[in-house]
Amino acid sequence: MTKIAILTDSTANLPVEWVEKNNVRVIPLKIHWGNDTFLDGVDLTPNEFYTRLSHSKTLPTTSQPSIQDFLQAFESLANQADGIVVPLISSGISGTVASALAAVREFFRVPVEIVDTRVTSAGQGLVVMAAARAAAQGKSLQEVRQAADEVVQRLHLFFAVDTLEYLHRGGRIGGASRYLGTVLNIKPILYFDLDGKLDALERARTKGKALQRLTALAEEKANGHPLHLSVIHANAPEIAQEFREQITHRLHCEEVFTLELSPVIGVHVGPGTIGVAFYTEDL
């Protein structure tokens, strides 16, 4: 039976228990903070990150894994697999896909399929989960790739930030720049466009209104179909739990998760961010 390995990056921030149970390999992005460099989710947990962020006068920067990082991961996985499927953070906001593709051009032991999820965080996680399910069923390399691609095509990710400051300072603000300088308590609702870049959908006057709008957007896109859904948050577990209860009460969810944004993503969106990623069970 064909054995396909799954490799993703740390911005998916999947639970450690799930990653270990499903034999998924995670390659970390990097956080640079003054003279220190941390591996995302390895050297710096979300709690540690937000504690340090609240006391720091400088905002850290981030970088993608190197070509060599990917080659080392490919070599390791090739010892136990006939092929590798690699769902990664959107190429619209990170150079991670570019690094992976460059590594593929230098690697010949087993075939490798790079999947640009065109999102990140829990949206990316949902793609990884679909690929892992297909791999566990003994599907071929192309079938596992197809399972991932089908989720990418149906995937939506919407989120509300407390402030655009972090996206602006990190250079990832995209179409949301039109809301810079607006009233401080406005909560912009953002999404990933078809090219995997951040854009602004609209703005809400309060966090509560923003969460209501996120629920309505999911309901609209679901159009009565069952959903695979994940609530995401940045250092806001209580609000995330309330939001999860609100959204699952309104929608039919085949599976539902709550995931915290990885520190690398937290650098760019800031604490207090709440969002939802989902795709429909049926087309």
How far apart CA 66 and CA 25 sit, in angstroms, is 16
CA nearest neighbour of 148 among 111, 119, 115, 122: 115
Q: What tens digit of pLDDT does each residue of 138-179 get?
A: 999 999 999 999 999 999 999 998 776 665 554 544 544 444
How far apart CA 106 and CA 215 sit, in angstroms, is 44
Residue 59 has pLDDT above 90, yes or no: no
Better-scored residue on pLDDT, 281 or 267: 267
Residue with the two structure tokens 């965080």:
121
Q: What is the DSSP string of 200-243?
A: EEEEESSHHHHHHHHHHHHHHHHTT--EEEEEEESS-HHHHHHH
Question: What integer pLDDT is reported at residue 268 of this predicted model?
Answer: 84
Q: 45-59, 117-131, 242-256: lowest mean pLDDT where? A: 45-59
- The mean pLDDT value of the chain amounts to 90
Residue 202 has pLDDT above 70, yes or no: yes
How far apart CA 269 and CA 128 sit, in angstroms, is 22
Better-scored residue on pLDDT, 282 or 200: 200
CA nearest neighbour of 259 among 280, 230, 229, 235: 230
Q: Which two tokens stand for residue 188?
A: 């912009």
How far apart CA 278 and CA 130 sit, in angstroms, is 12
Q: Which two tokens stand for residue 77?
A: 């996985």
pLDDT band (50, 70, 90) for residue 2: confident
Q: Which two tokens stand for residue 58?
A: 């400088």
Question: What integer pLDDT is reported at residue 269 of this predicted model?
Answer: 83
Instruction: Look at strands 36-39 and 83-88 and give their pairing.
Output: unpaired
How far apart CA 204 and CA 141 sit, in angstroms, is 43
Which DSSP category does 262 fall into?
P
Q: Which domains does the chain have, with CATH numbers?
A: 4-29+64-154 (3.40.50.10440), 156-280 (3.30.1180.10)
Better-scored residue on pLDDT, 171 or 122: 122
How far apart CA 126 and CA 7 sit, in angstroms, is 13
What pTM was computed for the model?
Answer: 0.92
Question: What integer pLDDT is reported at residue 176 of this predicted model?
Answer: 44
3-class SS of residue 157: strand
- Give the full edge-to-edge strand order of the sheet including 83-88: 24-27, 4-9, 83-88, 112-116
Q: Which two tokens stand for residue 272?
A: 């207090």
Residue 231 has pLDDT above 80, yes or no: yes
CA nearest neighbour of 93 among 72, 117, 59, 126: 117
